[in-house]
Structure 1
Amino acid sequence: MAYDVEKPDEQWRAELTPAEYQVLRQAGTEPAFVGEYTDTKTEGVYSCRACGADIFTSDTKFESHCGWPSFYDPKDSDAVELIEDRSHGMVRTEVRCSNCGSHLGHVFAGEGYDTPTDQRYCINSISMRLSPAES
């Protein structure tokens, strides 16, 4: 897929920290329960750390106790790209930023959470930046 933001690998490496690069550009996962936004209750908008596109809002964030920030819906239906992921001997759905193609996490359905969509977007904190809502 062609993205609005495309950069050579060397530029991504220069702009992101090694940990950010590993998650965003190499589809890595940060360790559970250590992410900056796992337990935050701050209201605002979560954007892609790589390109700044708005991805999620605090209105759809919920407590899943899975170790990563969880959302039940992206900010806009076209904010994310969903891709089948058959790595690690399982079938999952990868979530990428539709603006730059960066890996954000995975989405799971039918887990029984009391959310309007019955989905859990399990997103790496390191893949996002939170802009707090203005009071």
Structure 2
Amino acid sequence: MNTKTFKVVKTDAEWREQLTPEQYQITRNHGTERAFSSPNFDSKLKGVYKCVCCDRPLYKSEAKYESGTGWPSFTNPIEPDAVIAVEDRSYGMLRTEIKCSDCDAHLGHVFPDGPAPTGLRYCMNGNALVFDQA
């Protein structure tokens, strides 16, 4: 299933009009929400998590797990090309940033300390995601 169709490009003013101030800070300025503060960090409902900026399906609820970090965590994206991994050297650390492949929204980071089957923890900002219940 490949849902990618085109790159979403908007002006800064268009993003600010579409998003709440917190969503804008996270997705367009590489911000991070406080742990345990996003609306769906502990949700166990069935459905799909989409990009808040462009509605791209990113993660299935079946890939979500409780990491204890306070952020929604997933073992893998809904499809390999849903997200882009980018080296992040901010704050004196070396991490891998995860961005939406359709609109370049900052979503969070991926770490190599997750459970099977991937061993990865896609640690996402919940305010960068919108939940679509099945």
Trace 1:30-109 onto structure 2 (pairs within 5 A).
30-109=33-112
What are the superposed Cα offsets for residues 84-131 of structure 1, whole Å, 9 maximum, x if unpaired? 00001100000000000000000001x2x4320000000001000111
Give every structure 1 segment of 4 or more consecutive aligned residues whose post-TM-superposition deviation is greater than 6 Å.
Answer: none
Tell me how far 1:62 sits from its aligned partner.
0.6
Tell me which residue corresponds to 1:131.
Answer: 132
Q: Residues of 2 paired with 1:101 and 1:90: CA distance? A: 21
Is the contact made by 2:72 and 2:126 (CA closer than 8 Å) also made in structure 1? Answer: yes
Q: Given residue 64 of structure 1, which amino acid in structure 2 is its aligned partner?
A: S
Identity within the alignment, %: 47
Q: Residues of 2 paired with 1:60 and 1:115: CA distance? A: 10
User: Any gaps of 5 or more consecutive residues in structure 1?
Assistant: none
Tell me which residue corresponds to 2:7.
Answer: 4
Q: Residues of 1 paired with 2:111 and 2:127: CA distance? A: 19
Task: Report the TM-score when normalising by structure 2.
Answer: 0.94
Task: Report the TM-score when normalising by structure 1.
Answer: 0.93
Is the contact made by 2:115 and 2:121 (CA closer than 8 Å) also made in structure 1? Answer: no
User: Any gaps of 5 or more consecutive residues in structure 2?
Assistant: 1-5
Q: What CA RMSD, in Å, does the superposition of the two structures yield over aligned residues?
A: 0.9
